[in-house]
Amino acid sequence: MSIKLYSTLSRRKEDFETIEPGKVRMYVCGVTVYHKAHIGHAMFALVFDVIRRYLEYRGYAVRHVMNFTDVDDKIINRANQLGVNPFELAEGYIREFQQNLADLNVLPATINPRATQEIDLIIKMIEGLIEKGFAYPLDSDVYFRVDKDPDYGKLSGRRLDDMQAGARIDVDNRKENPMDFALWKASKPGEPAWDSPWGQGRPGWHIECSAMNLNHLGEQIDIHGGGNDLIFPHHENEIAQTESLTGKQFARYWVHNGMLQLSGEKMSKSLGNLVSIDDFLAKHKADSLRFLILNSGYRNPLSYSDEIVEQADRAIERLQSGLRPAEAAAAGASTQDLEDLQKQMVATRTGFEQSMDDDFNSAGALGYLFELVRVINQAHAEGATAAQLAPAQDLLKELTGVLGLQLENSRAGDQAVEPFIQLLIDLRLELRAQKLYQLSDLIRNRLLDMGVILEDGKGGTSWRFK
């Protein structure tokens, strides 16, 4: 069975076929680095991380490119406000975002190109577009001529006639068509600038992505992704530029994720309603955020609230419960239990793959993983040994890993405390044997306050970090 994925261009699910067999060229629009990254940015990164991981699970070699826009008006404005060098400002946020992604267990992209590293190619492309009549210089700017592009609007499903140019911004009367967009922008004194045939300036927002695609993936790519707020104008313009220049179809599949919303509104820098990735990770595990995103369709909007984060925290604990070690004194599960476990393993992998093949239906896939957890726990409760649980637990680890979940219980760097915890457990065991329950409960409660949970089972007391 093949993978199906929804493409914004055709507005339907399509069979996934790559240009080169077994290889995927995937470009994902990254961020403009002028501000701390928020969990909305994390969403796109997580969505495409899961897509990439699943494609690799399916045997594809994925060349994953995610760019950084490191020069633009917003960066310059903010640098001016802060009185710092715009390049240094961008560099700092790039480092921070990469650290955020690492903290979220997002695999590093194959390449992270930056707009400022592509200037030569950008200029060549603009020259090519001018030669072909798709662009025209105006003073020291260069604009793309939308009227020359017959299928302009095909991605976003708009026609030029329908668009109320200037409805919310002032029309630049110098342009041939109000919808013409900048390929090259003249710079003001003191702003970052590069030499060009049209004078000192910098690239427009859209052309950089076209250039990075061309440079790192080629004229034609398999998947082009990003948030659905980029469909228009950014991706529309990218198609227009690239296809006008090459005369070939640019991306086979356009994949867009829905927006993360906070209190009913899109989370965005301009609205000021954001939760930074750092804020989130200070209170919750990376797995929790990933679960939130996996648990709903990637194309749907996702409403963020304390309540659903709390639910995600619990759900992760539930998945972790499937990985608990067998009781030391386990007697072994019955043949029937082991058969059930075996059946569920087959059902889980099959269901997982069928769900994920269907446009990366991770919520459906999670359903099968929870069912596996239940059957593992049943066997666990029936006395399965470590060896009996291992195959199912390995499967659980493997498939949650495909989704990028870590399910780690222990906190890094805390190994040193383990002997002391064990000492307290042994002490408490003695107190309980003497029925000194007040003291034994005191130990349990105090450890809980410190984030260590004790659980008394048949085979002794086990513990885990909260």
Sites for RNA among residues 69-108 (CB under 7 A):
69, 74
Residue 463: strand pairing partners: 454
Among residues 190 and 264, whose Cβ is nearest to RNA? 264
Residue 443 CB, nearest distance to RNA (Å)?
A: 9
According to CB under 7 A, which residues from 378 to 437 bind RNA? 378, 380-381, 432, 437
Instruction: List the one residue from 246, 268, 385, 409 that touches RNA (CB under 7 A).
Output: 268
Q: How far is the CB of 131 from RNA (least distance, A)?
A: 25
Query: Is 454 an interacting residue with respect to RNA (CB under 7 A)?
Result: yes
Q: Which helix (H) or strand (E) holds 190?
A: none
Select from 339, 340, 322 the least CA-distant residue to 395.
322
How far does Cα 308 stand from its chain's mean position? 18
Sole window of 126-134, 135-143, 184-192, 291-299 interacting with RNA (rule: CB under 7 A): 291-299
**CB of 396: closest distance to RNA in angstroms?**
12
Regarding 301 and contact with RNA (CB under 7 A), the answer is yes
SS3 content of the chain, % helix, strand, coil (to 5): 50, 20, 35
Contact flag: residue 177 with RNA (CB under 7 A): no
Member of 267, 277, 333, 403 binding RNA (CB under 7 A): 267
Q: By CB under 7 A, tell whether 463 contacts RNA.
A: no
Write each residue from 192 to 231 as x if it is in contact with RNA (CB under 7 A), else as -, in one continuous string: -------------x--------------------xxxxxx
* Least gap, CB of 62 to RNA (angstroms): 18
Contacts of 458 (CB under 8 A, 6+ apart): 327, 329
Residues forming a β-bridge with 221? 251
Quick check: 326 and 389 in contact, CB under 8 A? yes
Residue placing its CB nearer to RNA in the complex, 44 or 250: 44
* Residues of this chain, 240-259, that bind RNA according to CB under 7 A: 257, 259
Shortest reach from residue 431's CB to RNA, in Å: 8
Residue number, 127 or 172, with CB nearest to RNA? 172
Q: Min. distance of Cβ 389 from RNA in angstroms?
A: 12
Identify the helix (H) or strand (E) that includes residue 31.
strand 23-32
Residues 22-61 close enough to bind RNA by CB under 7 A: 29-32, 40-41, 43-44
Distance CA 317, CA 287 (A): 10
DSSP track, 275-309: -BHHHHHHHS-HHHHHHHHHTS-TTS-EEE-HHHH
State which residue, 29 or 123, has the beta carbon closest to RNA.
29
User: Binding of RNA at residue 308 (CB under 7 A)?
Assistant: yes
DSSP code at position 202: E
Smallest CA-to-CA distance from 75 within 67, 84, 66 is with 84
The per-residue DSSP string of 62-128 comes to: EEEEEEEE--SHHHHHHHHHHTS-HHHHHHHHHHHHHHHHHHTTPPPPSB--BGGG-HHHHHHHHHH
Figure out which of the listed residues 2, 173, 270, 434 binds RNA, where binding follows CB under 7 A. 270
For RNA (CB under 7 A), the number of binding residues is: 86
Which residues neighbour 366 within 8 Å (Cβ) at sequence distance 6 or greater?
291, 294, 295, 403
Nearer to RNA, 229 or 278 (CB): 229
Q: Does 440 interact with RNA (rule: CB under 7 A)? A: yes
Q: Is 165 in the site for RNA (CB under 7 A)?
A: yes
Q: How many angstroms separate the CA atoms of 45 and 55, rounded?
A: 15
The stretch near RNA (CB under 7 A) out of 81-89, 114-122, 134-142, 310-318 is 310-318
- When asked if residue 11 is in the footprint of RNA (CB under 7 A), the reply is yes
CB closer to RNA, 259 vs 405: 259
Site for RNA in 123-142 (CB under 7 A): none
According to the binding rule CB under 7 A, does residue 349 interact with RNA?
no
Tell me the CA end-to-end span of the chain in Å, nearest whole number.
41
Shortest distance (Å) from residue 88 CB to RNA:
19
With CA atoms as reference, report the closest residue to 30 among 65, 63, 1, 57.
65
- Closest by alpha carbon to 232, among 147, 174, 160? 160
In the bound state with RNA, the residue whose beta carbon lies nearer, of 19 and 378, is 378
Phi first, then psi: give them for residue 12, nearest 5 degrees.
-155, 170
317 binds RNA (CB under 7 A): yes
Instruction: Tell the smallest beta-carbon distance from residue 177 to RNA (Å).
Output: 12
* Least Å from the CB of residue 382 to RNA: 8
Residues 6+ apart with CB under 8 A from 430: none
